[in-house]
Amino acid sequence: MIADLKPYPEYKESGLPWLGQVPGHWDVPPLAGLAWMKSVVNQSERQLLSVYLQRGVVRFADVDEKRTNATSKDLSNYQAVDPGDFVLNNQQAWRGSVGVSEYSGIVSPAYLVLALSKRYSARYANLLFRDQSMVSQYLVCSKGVGTIQRNLYWPHLKRVGVVIPPPDEQAAIVRFLDWANGRLERAIRAKRKVIALLNEQKQAIIHRAVTRGLDPSVPLKPSGIPWLGDIPQHWEVTALRRHWRVTDCKHLTVPFVDDGIPLASVVEVQKFSLDLSRCKRTKPEWYRLLIDGDRKPRRGDLIYCRNASVGACALVETDIDFAMGQDVCLIRSRAQNQRFLNYLLHSPFMDHQLELLLVGSTFKRINVSEIKALAVAVPPRHEQNAICESLDAGMVAYDIAISRLAREIEFLREYRTRLVADVVTGKLDVREAAALLPDDAPPDTAEDGTDLSDELELADEETVV
């Protein structure tokens, strides 16, 4: 059905370079003709709302685990939001931090709250105003220095032209996109489930290798650790500090620059190997301070996360100069195989150990002394080497399959974005397709989930004042 969609039979020029042609019977008024500013305060009894880049307007209480800013205790200046209001984070709208609210609540005074004309259905308006073609206009109407925060101004925004289909077409667009979204999200979730199963199999293989070795006939002995069980008789169970040196990062807040020395922090250690492709950078003089005290990472070191994503660990496989950023530490040994320890630190055995350490902890973090005290199973070096060679070879097929599925998910997401854009701006006509949908067609708009790297990047962008 999606593949059979055709353009409208008649188009007209919108007069807007970013929009191009629109269906001949659609209107293209300025936003000021369909929206107006609201600023209702002293409504602190209402629930707190926020705007997320990937989700639009949400209840702040529903995303407690992702809060990145403290909420003001005085809510008297927070602005009232009613269902159907258009809410924009005026410092992050240019990135897409906008949405039409389903809820009654209040938002930060730093937001823009617009009441919308009844000519718009709330759900169609949410699709339109979150589309990338509209987001590009928020950027044009924003001013600021750099790429972190750019303020959006209503006097500029209100002159932006917008499209508005007839009410029955808005309903058809929403109905069709609900159906299409459901099909695409089911496909995405199915692929994510396969990825999860493949990762479970990888974990089982890694766990078996780093706790039992490669020889199934070797005599075993009790490890003394209940969740570890028996280990090869000639292996050692000891604290990590016995064979590895752990060095904390410098606790310095350094300035970031566009062209400088790379910093490895939480985001960079989410994969088995260190990934500096999206890292922040700092000035050379700050880099020299950060590597003071033998803190300069080198090839073969492990960078370990001790805050937020506790236990994430990455092997350094580069010779470029970089420094540890915040919330990580360096693990080094000249006598042991660092790849073996990295596999061990990624195993279910270590996950369980960390879970016990973090029980009851409000903030998920561990200190360097706790990292040094982590129990590790240590085989002789030649066995470490053999285990790593076996795992390296065995993980290739899994990694290829997982990468292929991840690319397919990304293609589906890109296709969904393109489909929504083409439908809400009138490039494709869905009226007939929507009419043919069965009455019991499930909307199925469940979330398909977000990768950890996205979560770290796309956490709440709210400015709380």
Backbone dihedral angles phi then psi of residue 434, each to the nearest 5 degrees: -65, -35
Cα gap 129→51, rounded to integer Å: 13
Per-residue confidence (pLDDT) for residue 140, from 0 to 100: 87
The predicted-structure confidence for 35-75, as pLDDT tens digits, reads as follows 999 989 888 889 999 898 888 999 988 775 545 455 567 78
In a domain, 464, yes or no: no
In a domain, 194, yes or no: no
**In this structure, which long-range contacts are made by residues 5-13, counting pairs with CB atoms below 8 Å and at least 24 apart in sequence?**
5/428, 5/429, 5/430, 5/433, 6/428, 6/429, 7/427, 7/428, 7/429, 8/426, 8/429, 9/429, 11/426
Residue 33 CB burial class (10 angstroms; 0-12, 13-18, ≥19):
middle
**229 and 315 share one domain:** yes
CB burial readout 294-321, b (16+ within 10 A) else e: ebbbeeebbbbbbbbbbbbbbbbeeeee
**CA distances in angstroms from 349 to 148, 290, 303, 330, 352, listed in the order given:** 40, 32, 19, 21, 5
Residue 190: partners with Cβ closer than 8 Å, 6 or more residues away: none
Strands 328-332 and 323-324: unpaired
Per-residue confidence (pLDDT) for residue 143, from 0 to 100: 82
Tell me the pLDDT band of 456, cut-offs 50, 70 and 90. Answer: very low
**229 and 349 share one domain:** yes
Domain boundary at 378, 395, 428, which?
378
**98 and 236 share one domain:** no
Cα gap 377→270, rounded to integer Å: 23
**267 and 159 share one domain:** no
The predicted-structure confidence for 257-309, as pLDDT tens digits, reads as follows 989 999 999 999 999 999 999 999 999 999 999 999 999 999 999 999 998 78
Per-residue confidence (pLDDT) for residue 113, from 0 to 100: 94
439 in Cβ contact with 175 (< 8 Å):
no
Per-residue confidence (pLDDT) for residue 237, from 0 to 100: 95
Per-residue confidence (pLDDT) for residue 145, from 0 to 100: 59
Q: Based on the structure, what is the number of domains in the chain?
A: 2
**310 and 264 share one domain:** yes
**6 and 136 share one domain:** yes
In a domain, 317, yes or no: yes
299 in Cβ contact with 316 (< 8 Å):
yes
**18 and 95 share one domain:** yes
Per-residue confidence (pLDDT) for residue 362, from 0 to 100: 67
Per-residue confidence (pLDDT) for residue 91, from 0 to 100: 85
In a domain, 209, yes or no: no
**313 and 426 share one domain:** no
Average pLDDT over every residue of 345-362: 87
Per-residue confidence (pLDDT) for residue 455, from 0 to 100: 36
Could you tell me the residue range of the domain that residue 156 belongs to? 2-187+406-457
239 in Cβ contact with 375 (< 8 Å):
yes
**169 and 238 share one domain:** no
Q: What six digits make up the tokens of 166?
A: 């007839």
**Residue in 8, 387, 33 with CA at minimum distance from that of residue 210:** 387
**355 and 416 share one domain:** no
Average pLDDT over every residue of 152-159: 89
- CA angle 256–259–263, rounded 5-degree value: 50
Domain boundary at 378, 394, 425, which?
378
Cα gap 408→75, rounded to integer Å: 44
Residue 54: partners with Cβ closer than 8 Å, 6 or more residues away: 450, 454, 458
Backbone dihedral angles phi then psi of residue 239, each to the nearest 5 degrees: -75, 145
Tell me the pLDDT band of 149, cut-offs 50, 70 and 90. Answer: low
Average pLDDT over every residue of 119-135: 94
Residue 330: partners with Cβ closer than 8 Å, 6 or more residues away: 246, 247, 249, 295, 297, 301, 302, 303, 304, 324
**418 and 294 share one domain:** no
Query: What's the mean pLDDT when you consider all of the chain?
Result: 89
In a domain, 219, yes or no: yes
In the chain, pLDDT over 90 holds for what percent of residues? 71
DSSP bridge pairs for 50? 58
Q: Is the pLDDT of residue 178 over 90?
A: yes
**352 and 430 share one domain:** no
Cα gap 234→82, rounded to integer Å: 68
The predicted-structure confidence for 107-121, as pLDDT tens digits, reads as follows 989 899 999 999 999
Per-residue confidence (pLDDT) for residue 110, from 0 to 100: 86
The predicted-structure confidence for 389-448, as pLDDT tens digits, reads as follows 999 999 999 999 999 999 999 999 999 999 999 999 999 999 999 999 987 655 554 444
> pTM for the whole thing?
0.78
In a domain, 203, yes or no: no
In a domain, 22, yes or no: yes
Tell me the pLDDT band of 452, cut-offs 50, 70 and 90. Answer: very low
In a domain, 222, yes or no: yes
Please indicate whether residue 340 or residue 361 has the higher confidence score (pLDDT).
Answer: 340
Per-residue confidence (pLDDT) for residue 465, from 0 to 100: 41
Per-residue confidence (pLDDT) for residue 71, from 0 to 100: 57
Per-residue confidence (pLDDT) for residue 144, from 0 to 100: 72
**Residue in 32, 327, 388, 451 with CA at minimum distance from that of residue 205:** 388
CATH number at residue 292: 3.90.220.20
